Amino acid sequence: FLLVTMAQCEYPLIPGQAGLSVSAYLYGYSSLLEDDKYIFIKKYIYIYFSVRSCKNKLYPDDLPRTSVVIVFHNEAWSTLLRTVRSVIDRSPKSLLEEIVLVDDASERDFLKRPLEQYVRRMEVPVRVVRMEQRSGLIRARLKGASLSTGQVITFLDAHCECTVGWLEPLLARIKLDRKTVVCPIIDVISDDTFEYMAGSDMTYGGFNWKLNFRWYPVPQREMDRRKGDRTLPVRTPTMAGGLFSIDRDYFQEIGTYDAGMDIWGGENLEISFRIWQCGGTLEIVTCSHVGHVFRKATPYTFPGGTGQIINKNNRRLAEVWMDEFKNFFYIISPGVTKVDYGDITSRSSLRQKLQCKPFSWYLENVYPDSQIPRHYYSLGEIRNVETNQCLDNMARKENEKVGIFNCHGMGGNQVFSYTANKEIRTDDLCLDVSKLNGPVMMLKCHHLKGNQLWEYDTMVRSVCTSVCCVCRS
């Protein structure tokens, strides 16, 4: 902890600038000092540096070299070149084997010959590889990986900016243990102004019942494991998918990607589950920062419709890796069971061959604060048997009231789970009552019981306030 006054605070507090990676939390504080006739108001600013002494970390000289594989489809010139340029400028030459740009059948002319001619002049070998037809992220990455030669493969999206010192901390973790798969902290590049904003080192990857990737706060147990040192990597249950480094041989050993998945979606959870369940480790390396342009809408067209493809991919991931916990996905996404997911025998036999652990092990050991409860009493609807009405989350969001609607028996918004911790959950929200006589709200599950503890007898009632959730009369 450092205490500095505003006057002392001349150096920039922008993360990354001057090599400083800081999180500054500003607390205004004023104290009155009397000096004869004058009262000086001195305004102190307490600045809590999260003591991210990343700058002083030393890394071995003999780190493995990496190829950087970047898939693009109709990417803008400026964002693509910002990515390539920053990789070259901010990676030690001795660690950068090459850059492989995989064009997933772009239509824009400047991404054809002009791009090839432009990158030919660069100081590092940059290859442009073309997919013959639109193949999607997964197959395009597999092609790029197979044509690259570095000991490590680093996948980046085509709209990134690597920061100074991004690469060494990633490679150092892989050198230490080749079964460690590492992601940088993903900083945010605005898609309006393209300004660079620091991402948080206090969130990690999770997923909800619908198998959407989500960021959640790093839990206390993970802070404790690192003894509060925020320069140490965070073990993350899942990765966002766009940006990570992996040892080439290990990537092969654990079965690269599921080539039966189409285009995009679900592949990041699939590789995350596979890494953990099959003996690897997945980390966010907090000393490595890469910016990423988060776009409001996907520029990709999905042949056959976005929903169908993501549902198919998610079914493959649920069927191969999630055991009985796939029911959470199926029951909250009615209709998804009708989607054909193709043949999964090769992925199932991969799981057998690698002797991967069950999904319950993953929930217990890797993701105990998962949105999918490891232990639960029931999963289904909460019905008033006399009126035939059901609790319904009405597709509302966090901090809104839970609703009641005619029971439809179709799962979806009427699915709740009464967990072993006596919470009532719907997806990643918990029923919560803070006032006598309600209302019953849907809040983030906090795992601390209290307002989220429900007792079941013939009614379901909140312990804290005795509010009945569903009453018979």
**Going along 73-220, which residue ranges are E strands?**
96-103, 126-130, 152-156, 160-162, 180-189, 196-197, 203-207, 213-217
Q: What angle do CA 311, 315, 321 make, to 5 degrees?
A: 145
Stretch that binds Mn ion, among 3-11, 150-158, 307-315, 319-327 (CB under 5 A): 150-158
Judged by beta carbon, residue 136 or residue 242, the one nearer Mn ion is: 242
Provide, rounded to whole angstroms, the least separation between the CB of residue 108 and Mn ion: 17
Does residue 265 touch Mn ion according to CB under 5 A? no
Distance (Å, whole) CA 428 – CA 452: 13
Pairing state between β 126-130 and 96-103:
parallel
Q: Using CB atoms, what's the residue nearest to Mn ion?
A: 157
Stretch that binds Mn ion, among 91-99, 151-159, 337-345, 393-401 (CB under 5 A): 151-159
Q: Are 114 and 27 in contact (CB under 8 A)?
A: no
Provide, rounded to whole angstroms, the least separation between the CB of residue 242 and Mn ion: 5
Judged by beta carbon, residue 72 or residue 325, the one nearer Mn ion is: 72
Over the Cα atoms of the chain, what is R_g? 25
Stretch that binds Mn ion, among 37-45, 67-75, 91-99, 235-243 (CB under 5 A): 235-243
Stretch that binds Mn ion, among 84-92, 133-141, 240-248, 348-356 (CB under 5 A): 240-248
Q: Cα–Cα distances in Å, from 150 out to 145, 171, 247, 261?
A: 9, 12, 9, 26
Does residue 168 touch Mn ion according to CB under 5 A? no
Q: Are 240 and 186 in contact (CB under 8 A)?
A: yes
Q: Which helix (H) or strand (E) holds 175?
A: helix 167-176
Does residue 241 touch Mn ion according to CB under 5 A? no
CB atoms within 10 A of CB 229: 12
Judged by beta carbon, residue 54 or residue 84, the one nearer Mn ion is: 84
Judged by beta carbon, residue 264 or residue 325, the one nearer Mn ion is: 264
Provide, rounded to whole angstroms, the least separation between the CB of residue 281 and Mn ion: 24
Does residue 157 touch Mn ion according to CB under 5 A? yes
Does residue 291 touch Mn ion according to CB under 5 A? no
Stretch that binds Mn ion, among 183-191, 193-201, 242-250, 278-286 (CB under 5 A): 242-250
> Residues in contact with Mn ion, total (CB under 5 A)?
2
Q: Are 469 and 442 in contact (CB under 8 A)?
A: no
Provide, rounded to whole angstroms, the least separation between the CB of residue 307 and Mn ion: 20
Give the three-class secondary structure for 93. helix
Stretch that binds Mn ion, among 56-64, 112-120, 179-187, 237-245 (CB under 5 A): 237-245
Judged by beta carbon, residue 199 or residue 242, the one nearer Mn ion is: 242
Q: How many CA atoms lie within 13 A of 100 on its CB side?
A: 25
**Going along 347-402, which residue ranges are E strands?**
376-380, 383-384, 389-392, 400-401
Which residues lie closer than 8 Å to 22 by C-beta, 6 or more apart? 13, 15, 49, 50, 52
Does residue 150 touch Mn ion according to CB under 5 A? no
Judged by beta carbon, residue 50 or residue 268, the one nearer Mn ion is: 268
Provide, rounded to whole angstroms, the least separation between the CB of residue 188 and Mn ion: 11
Q: Are 190 and 168 in contact (CB under 8 A)?
A: no
Does residue 187 touch Mn ion according to CB under 5 A? no
Judged by beta carbon, residue 264 or residue 454, the one nearer Mn ion is: 264
Provide, rounded to whole angstroms, the least separation between the CB of residue 218 and Mn ion: 22
Judged by beta carbon, residue 49 or residue 302, the one nearer Mn ion is: 302
Judged by beta carbon, residue 241 or residue 411, the one nearer Mn ion is: 241
Which residues lie closer than 8 Å to 56 by C-beta, 6 or more apart? none
Provide, rounded to whole angstroms, the least separation between the CB of residue 285 and Mn ion: 19
Provide, rounded to whole angstroms, the least separation between the CB of residue 292 and Mn ion: 6
Give the three-class secondary structure for 28. strand
Tally of residues, the chain: 473
Pick the binder of Mn ion from 16, 205, 242, 266 (CB under 5 A): 242
Stretch that binds Mn ion, among 114-122, 149-157, 178-186, 196-204 (CB under 5 A): 149-157
Stretch that binds Mn ion, among 122-130, 156-164, 200-208, 402-410 (CB under 5 A): 156-164
CB atoms within 10 A of CB 60: 10
Distance (Å, whole) CA 154 – CA 99: 9
Judged by beta carbon, residue 83 or residue 327, the one nearer Mn ion is: 83
Q: Are 142 and 259 in contact (CB under 8 A)?
A: yes
- The secondary structure of residue 282, as a DSSP letter, is E
Applying CB under 5 A, the residues found at the interface with Mn ion are: 157, 242
